[in-house]
Amino acid sequence: VQTHPPWAPAPLPRGRGAAAGRGQRWRRGVGRRRRAARSSVPIPHTARTQHGPALRPPTRTAPEEEEEEEGAGPPPWPRSRLSPLGLGAEDEGGGSPEGSGTGQGRDRTGRGCHPQRCPPPAGAIRGQAARCGHPLLRAEPSDRLGQPASPGEQDAADRQELETGQEVRQLHREFLRAGSNVLQTFTFYASEDKLENRGNYVAEKITCQKVNEAACDIAKEVATEGDALVAGGVSQTPSYLSCKDKAEVKAVFRKQLEVFMKKNVDFLIAEYFEHVEEAVWAVEVLKESGKPVAATMCIGPEGDMHGVPPGQCAVQLVKAGASIVGVNCHFDAETCLQTVKLMKEGLQAAKLKAHLMSQPLAFHTPDCGKQGFIDLPEFPFALEPRIVSRWDVQKYARKAYDLGIRYIGGCCGFEPYHIRAIAEELAPERGFLPEASEKHGSWGNSLSMHTKPWVRARARKEYWENLKPASGRPYCPSMSKPDGWGVTKGAKELMQQKEATTEQQLKELFQKQKF
């Protein structure tokens, strides 16, 4: 969420009465898969601020409602196939229980990635959603129920997804309807070195260029449905972790930048960096475009993995040319806001100015170590008990705004209803509500229609704002002990390779791991 910077056009308000879309009805036997993707809600000015006069978003006509045939089978449901990490910044996303998104249901096959060729990497719960080794979202193709696709079918499906991308479009639309005014291209970890790292075959069979081009085309197409901005993003690289020199690492960023320039995205984001040195290199490359650049690091109050404090990280990024600085991923909202506050103080001490940005996890992580949630034993496939509620997100949005942050969004774990919570909390500042709020009562006021009187009594802000939710897990601890192996750039375990991880390499890691 950014308090509209001078270089960005005012976003249009979401139309009321817009179509809820296919799959909104609940069908017996058809559950709703959760996806989550990073999204952000830039806030236009409604009053005069230090950045300029008040802006008032114009009205627009809502799209025609798409009718759904009775008795039709369940619509295809996108399986998250984002870039190979795990919204960081980059997640398995889906509509909210109230249908804040537009397409609920299951995918045609009910299955996802090939279990051997696409092991979901770290950060796999965010829509930014559950991440696997593929750069795009799609369902696994197969005409044989219960059997994985053959390599030939898999390759054909990859090519088809690049050409159609319906599932990816749907994911973008859900966040657009929820209130996002920035759609970020699904290019997280889509650098060439990552797409050929540890057995990943995407760079060879699809190519880095095609993946990034398709991501830009899809984001730009959906953005026009709501006049949202499109941001092209790059992230940290295996090349840097493997101690490649500055020129080699910059060359990796430059390949993605060439696509972003060709597709003419609105601005650029360098995100998810554990080392400020590499983040600075990324900003320097992106500034070659002449477009505005935002830079976020996945660090906490302790600073980057080399010990550089958050304030100094912010100073270096702004001096490199970043117009917006902040943090994303690895930590929860409370920790991220602490870190951004330190960045703000560092900039003030250096007499530098920049917009502030925050995209935290949708998980509670008070027990994280320096490297964040990837050190938690639950990462990435048992993080659900830590998920934040929509009310947690509303509190986060208000605290972020009060801190002076004007680019407010979310990373791993964030679903459309979380982004909607940001938009609803900041509706007074933005001047309008998102389309997805049409059928969603503020602070639970729709519970006034409930049949049970004790549930009707919960139809108020005070109840949900002060609730301390129980986990329902009496034998589970409230905190975990992070693994914290203490490895960073240059460590043997972080040296990357094109070949798939061997059995011997895995055995060595298994022996080191403690339960």
**407-410 and 229-235 strand pairing:** unpaired
**Residue 288 tokens, joined:** 């070659």
3-state DSSP of 266-330: CEEEEEEECCHHHHHHHHHHHHHHCCCEEEEECCECCECCCCCCHHHHHHHHHHHCCCEEEEECC
Look at residues 112, 107, 96, 113 and name the one whose alpha carbon lies nearest to residue 177: 96
411 is in an annotated binding site: yes
Report the C-alpha gap between 4 and 44 in whole angstroms.
5
Q: Return d(Cα 91, Cα 7) in angstroms, integer.
A: 30
- 132 known member of a binding site: no
In the structure encoding, which two tokens stand for residue 148, read together?
């994985």
For residue 476, the 8-state DSSP code is S
Q: Are 294 and 325 in contact, with CB atoms under 8 Å apart?
A: yes
Q: Which of 357, 365, 425, 370 is nearest to 397 (CA)?
A: 425
What span, in angstroms and rounded, lies between the C-alpha atoms of 31 and 305?
A: 41
Give me 112's structure tokens: 């996802």
Spatial distance between the Cα atoms of 36 and 14, rounded to a whole number of angstroms: 21
- Would you state the structure tokens that stand for residue 15, as one six-digit string? 């139309």
| 412 known ligand binder | yes
DSSP of 411-467, one letter per residue?
-TT--HHHHHHHHHHTHHHHTS--GGGTT--GGGGGGGG-SSHHHHTT-SHHHHHH-
For residues 338-369, one letter each, b for 16 or more C-beta atoms within 10 angstroms of the residue's C-beta and e for the rest, the string is ebbbbbbebbeeeeeebbbbbbbbbbbbeebb
Separation CA 468–CA 91 (nearest Å)? 26
DSSP H stretches of helix in 238-275? 238-241, 246-263
At 498, the amino acid letter reads K
Cα 212 to Cα 219: distance, rounded to the nearest angstrom: 11
Full DSSP string of 215-237: HHHHHHHHHTTTT-EEEEEEE--
Q: Which residues are annotated as a binding site for Zn(2+)?
A: 329, 411-412
Q: Which residues are annotated as a binding site?
A: 329, 411-412
